[in-house]
Amino acid sequence: MTEPTRPIRVLLADDETMIRHGVRLILRHADGIDVVAEAQDGRQAVELAAVHRPDVALVDVRMPVCDGLAAIAPLLALDPAPRVVMLTTFGDEANVIRALREGATGFLLKDEGPQELISAIRAAAAGDAVLSPGVTGAVIARMLRGGDPEAAEAARADDRIARLTAREREVLAMLGEGLSNQEIAGRLGIGVGTVKTHVGAILEKTGSASRVQAALLAHRTGLTS
């Protein structure tokens, strides 16, 4: 007899009560997702995450006491560490880039629809990148015009891509499209385990700390338009 799948445990961190209330109402009707804790600042988010052990932490970028950016590192230092998805507003590209460098799984606009929110949580729990289409393009543009403090590394981007095999470049391009491991496997006609192996090799060879950073590299080098 197959064991039932454990619900995805979610922590919400936002200083706006109405935002937390709205997200909680959406997730209440989503199969296999449980909101286990709510925090109103980053420090409380870390404290509650240590107790409730969420799989995914939805964290607002801007909060009092301790903002979302400062909370990323201590959240990722927990054992087990949750996947951290930043909640942001359009035009906050600089903070999004900082969040990605800190190791966030991705970012989601606050005004995304209910299905996008649910899909993002499931993708994050599965280890996939969460790239909100509404802000990805703006982040890429900022990086390309030098808005990223690490933009000096852009000149070496092609060298990093050159280390990849042809198949790994294919997979990287699909990461740039925001595809999940399962979607990549279906498109290429290979197993999900093989995709995971390719993703691991891509991260190592390109020096990317996360799938999100790898996806941004795909855009920066033209693998993904």
Helices (H), the chain: 17-28, 42-52, 68-76, 93-102, 114-125, 133-144, 157-162, 166-176, 181-188, 192-206, 211-220
User: Is the link from the previous residue into 80 a cis peptide, with omega within 30 of 0?
Assistant: yes
Measured CA distances, 149 to 57, 109, 145, 154, 200 (Å): 26, 23, 11, 11, 26
Residue 204's domain is classified under what CATH number?
1.10.10.10
Same domain, 99 and 179: no
Q: How many CB atoms lie within 10 A of CB 137?
A: 11
The reply to whether 225 falls in a domain is no
Residue 146 near residue 196 (C-beta atoms within 8 A): no
Confidence of residue 2 (pLDDT cuts 50, 70, 90): very low
Q: Which two tokens stand for residue 58?
A: 């939805």
179: containing domain: 150-220
pLDDT in tens, 22-81: 999 999 889 999 999 999 999 999 999 999 999 999 999 889 889 899 999 999 999 999
Pick from 42, 37, 69: nearest CA to 53: 37
Single pTM value for the model:
0.72
Same domain, 102 and 207: no
Domain endpoint, select from 141, 160, 179: 141
Pick from 114, 115, 135: nearest CA to 178: 135
Residue 87 near residue 14 (C-beta atoms within 8 A): yes
Residue 136's domain is classified under what CATH number?
3.40.50.2300
Mean pLDDT of all residues in 112-130: 86
Could you give the CA distance from residue 178 to residue 105 in angstroms, rounded to a whole number? 12
Q: What is the pLDDT of residue 198?
A: 94
pLDDT in tens, 192-201: 899 989 999 9
Q: What is the pLDDT of residue 49?
A: 97
Burial label for 133, CB within 10 Å (0-12, 13-18, 19+), is exposed
Domain endpoint, select from 92, 112, 141: 141
- Of 210 and 63, the one with more pLDDT: 63
Pick from 16, 46, 22: nearest CA to 35: 22
60: helix, strand or coil:
strand
